[in-house]
Amino acid sequence: MKTVVNNYLTHYIDIGISTAIPVVFIHGFPFSHKMWTFPGGQTESIATQNRIIAYDVRGHGDSEIGDAQYTIEFFVDDFFGLLDHLNVTKAIVVGLSMGGYIALRAYERNPERFRALVLCDTKAEADANDAKVRRSATIKSIKQNGPKVFAQEFVANVFSAHSFNTKPDSIKFIQSIIERTSPASLCGSLLALAARTDTSHILPTISVPTLLLFGEHDGLTPPASGKAMFDKIPSSRFEIIPKAGHVSNMENPEAFNSHFVEFISSIK
């Protein structure tokens, strides 16, 4: 389905039980909502008990690219705009990596819209200077070499070595999503990530049940980052997903879903 949100055409799915607790999925960069909907994935695991909403962040998947001048603030505006369009006043929000950045900033702005949080392979800190420089170098590389080369390099960094041996189809699937993403959108999103605000100060104020899921071999947001968040967020749970990297929900969906389904089922 598609609808106009903040003057952007936004692609989303709205499935499951319409009268049940809504669970909203926000994907990572530079993926699409399909990272949650693969066979045996997260939307399938709870569709018989919840209302499932998963969408493509502007410039990703089948959502409109527009001018590609993005900020995390715009992404948060879109998140709330979609909830308003779907008449969702309060939801369980699930975000991985960039999706976690969006979820945390959205919580900072409007905590009353949240019933619970699932934060996966993400962090609250803003980019340090060296990270901003790396994002700048990545933008330059995309402009010079295109999204196909970027996709190959990106999956090599985010998937664990174990996944390259055991989940080749998942890696090819994600790589194909990245390759189809506009270079303008990739570069605009990287600028948005580099310019995002720090949300570390809100962690002790999070008052909803929170589950933290981190891949054992995640090199971008290592388990230590998750443990640091766990130490600051009241009423939180922290679980490490074995044999997984930065895309833990796809690299070890069995372990991920075990914690995820148990947590979602506990929210009344």
Q: Per residue in 189-245, pLDDT tens?
A: 999 999 999 999 999 999 999 999 999 999 999 999 999 999 999 999 999 999 999
Angle 124-30-230 (CA atoms, 0-180°, nearest 5)? 25
The Cα 78–Cα 70 span in angstroms is 11
Range of the domain at 148: 2-266
Give how far the C-alpha of residue 183 lies from the chain's centroid of Cα atoms, to the nearest Å. Answer: 20
The Cα 84–Cα 190 span in angstroms is 27
Read off the pLDDT of residues 156-166 as tens digits, 9 standing for 90 and up: 999 999 999 99
Within the chain, strands assigned E span 2-5, 8-16, 22-26, 51-55, 91-96, 114-120, 210-215, 236-241
pLDDT at position 211, please?
A: 98
Whose structure tokens read 């952007």?
A: 8
Please answer whether residues 63 and 9 qualify as being in contact, where contact means their C-beta atoms are separated by less than 8 angstroms. Answer: yes
Question: What is the rounded average pLDDT of the residues 240-261?
Answer: 98
Read off the pLDDT of residues 24-75 as tens digits, 9 standing for 90 and up: 999 999 999 999 999 999 999 999 999 999 999 999 999 999 999 999 999 9
pLDDT at position 218, please?
A: 98
In DSSP notation, 93-148 reads EEEETHHHHHHHHHHHH-GGGEEEEEEES--SSPPPHHHHHHHHHHHHHHHHH-HH
pLDDT at position 150, please?
A: 98
The Cα 133–Cα 137 span in angstroms is 6
Q: Which tokens hold the place of 48?
A: 């018989």
Q: Is the pLDDT of residue 268 over 90?
A: no
pLDDT at position 37, please?
A: 97
Q: How many domains in the chain?
A: 1
pLDDT at position 6, please?
A: 95
pLDDT at position 68, please?
A: 97
The CATH number given to whatever domain includes residue 41 is 3.40.50.1820
- For the chain, percent of residues with pLDDT exceeding 70: 100
Question: What is the rounded average pLDDT of the residues 139-157?
Answer: 97
